[in-house]
Amino acid sequence: MDADVVVIGLGSTGSMALWQLAKRGLRAVGLEQFGIGHTRGSYAGDSRLFRSAVHEGPRFVPMLARARELWFELEKESGRHLYDECGALQIGDSGSGSLLKSIESAEQFGLPHEVLDAAALRARYPQHRVDDNTVAVLDHRAGSLFPEASVLAAVEAAKACGAQVLTNTEAIDFDEDGGRLKIITPDLSITCDKVVVATGSWTLRLRPDLKGFLSIIPLSLTWFMPRHPELFGPDRFPVFIRDEDGVHLYGTPSHDSYSIKVATEPLWPAIPSPDQVPDFSREDLQKIGGWAADFIPDLNPEPVRHSMHHELCTPSGLPLIDLDDDTGILLLTALSGRGFKFAPVYGELAADLVTGKPNDLHDAGFALGAQHR
Ligand SMILES: Cc1cc2nc3c(=O)[nH]c(=O)nc-3n(C[C@H](O)[C@H](O)[C@H](O)COP(=O)(O)OP(=O)(O)OC[C@H]3O[C@@H](n4cnc5c(N)ncnc54)[C@H](O)[C@@H]3O)c2cc1C
């Protein structure tokens, strides 16, 4: 088989890169070791937060603006509902550094937002328990993304533009082949000019040289039942992030009128492979449930559902988007726990690198050489 470009891994970013590459008319082939929209990717779990006014730094705000355009474009092209722009509340103590940075981002880039003090928060969002020194920023260009549907939509859109997709097909190796690249799977090999390695937590299998630099972190999700589900729909309850009393919680509204997602930051150490995610202990579930019901008193503290996931991380928390011009291998991976909202823009950046198209959003800090010496 012969192609211009092969994308290995059709998860969050690989699906978007394939869509963008196929749109440009390249002979693009996508390989996915499982099916499309499977339960084991870093994207699994029904919803992901999208925010525009982020505390991670001003370099990300224009990227998120472009990502938002692309999310709407993918919705239109696929005819699928992928994004519910219900807003995002970032809630914290009045002196919280990350809250102040988000407000600064919103002001600097003229993003539609409101700053709410404790009284305003209690009046508008009585679902949240707030202390007197609590402040929030309401980001209007924010909401819930639907990740499995998004991956499926991007792959379908790529196929509609001519991409070939091979599912249940693992890339087990790649090698140079007379100035081109040869991708090897158990049943066939594909010769191509460029390869996009978008393999998420499985990257170390193909790139064992990056062990010790990249780590796989377990991340959990938990869902809780409110006593009054009618108060938790996306029309009344924006996605949220809370950082108070040393606890970090985030969540999405109820998109099924049954439960809401409330999750916390990593509680478990790094693991050697995505097949070795830990299980929750009773103490873990009690702890997370206690935090959830403390911040949102209407919730029953026992999770009605929980699941364990994983994410490939760099030490800096920056993603790896790096084309090695000598080999034609492009790494598009290690999104470090916050990458889903960026997926379409990272896919576009990858496609621009492959085709040599300049893109002002490209960040030299995402190169492997800038992060790993
Ligand atoms: C629990 C949790 C909550 C999160 N919450 C948020 C959030 O609210 N907002 C946000 O923006 N981000 C969030 N993130 C981060 C975001 O989901 C991830 O950054 C993103 O999904 C990573 O995408 P990826 O493309 O790198 O990996 P994946 O989406 O996992 O894709 C990798 C794909 O490659 C395939 N693959 C791997 N190896 C091979 C191979 N050799 N051959 C063929 N196929 C292969 C895999 O099967 C998989 O489909 C969260 C992450 C987790 C785990």
Structural domains of the chain, with CATH:
5-45+147-207+316-371 (3.50.50.60), 87-141+215-313 (3.30.9.10)
Q: Pick from 145, 312, 295, 324: which is nearest to 219 by CA?
A: 312
Residue of 12, 261, 331 to test ligand 1 pocket, by largest number of atoms within 8 Å of CB: 12
Burial of 168 (0-12, 13-18, 19+ CB in 10 A): exposed
Q: Which residues touch 209 (CB under 8 Å, ≥6 apart)?
A: none
What does pLDDT average to in each consecutive run of 10 residues of the chain (373 residues)?
98 98 98 98 98 90 98 97 98 91 95 98 98 96 98 98 98 92 97 98 97 97 98 98 94 97 95 97 98 98 98 96 96 96 98 97 95 89
- 42 Cα: distance to centroid of ligand 1 (angstroms): 3
Identify the pLDDT of residue 55.
Answer: 86
Amino acid symbol at 334? A
Identify the pLDDT of residue 196.
Answer: 98
Dist CA 182 CA 159 (whole Å) = 22
Among protein residues, the one whose CA lies closest to atom 12 of ligand 1:
338
SS3 84: strand
Residue of 29, 32, 199, 349 to test ligand 1 pocket, by largest number of atoms within 8 Å of CB: 199
Which residues in 273-307 are b (16+ Cβ under 10 Å) and which e?
ebeebeebeeebbeebbebbbebbebbebebeebb
Among protein residues, the one whose CA lies closest to atom 41 of ligand 1:
171
Give the pocket of ligand 1 (CB within 6 Å). 8-14, 31-34, 41-43, 45, 48-49, 170-171, 198-202, 206, 219, 221, 309, 311, 333, 335, 337-341
**Within 13 Å and on the Cβ side, how many CA atoms surround 134?**
22
How many degrees, rounded to 5, is the angle at CA 281 between CA 275 and CA 282?
150
Q: Which residues pair with 5 in a beta bridge?
A: 28, 194
Identify the pLDDT of residue 95.
Answer: 84
Among protein residues, the one whose CA lies closest to atom 38 of ligand 1:
199
Q: Pick from 216, 199, 197, 219: which is nearest to 314 by CA?
A: 216
